[in-house]
Amino acid sequence: MLREAGAHLWDAAEAAKLVCEFASGRTKAEFNSDLVIRSAIERQLEILGEALKRLRRDYADTAARVPGLDRIVGMRNVLAHEYGDIDYEILWRATTTEIPTLIPILNQLVDEAWGAAGL
């Protein structure tokens, strides 16, 4: 893997961490009623999806190791292009159950990519 793969993975990992940080200690009701938090999480999910979309385009073998990549990219597409049709139940569930399990995998892939690039 080259440096660019590491950069895409790092962007994805950082966005995932911020999603979890922004949701930390909040209930679903708080998430639903707080436009600022919801907007911040949506933005980080867009960044996560875009970084993984670029990884898939440029480094398909590495991207194939990211669980749920197609769903994450699909969510990014909805957030970016179909913003009026966002299902906040799905967004909350992804934020609280799926994204936290993704972070260690992304971190491992970042370490591998940067190790292979000699960084």
Query: How many other C-beta atoms are found inside a 10 Å radius of the C-beta of residue 82?
Result: 9
In DSSP notation, 3-50 reads HHHHHHHHHHHHHHHHHHHHHTT--HHHHHH-HHHHHHHHHHHHHHHH
d(CA 50, CA 113): 18
Q: Which of 8, 54, 56, 76 is catalytic?
A: 76
Q: Is 71 a catalytic residue?
A: no
76 part of the active site: yes
Structure token digits, residue 13: 């990992």
Active site residues: 76, 81
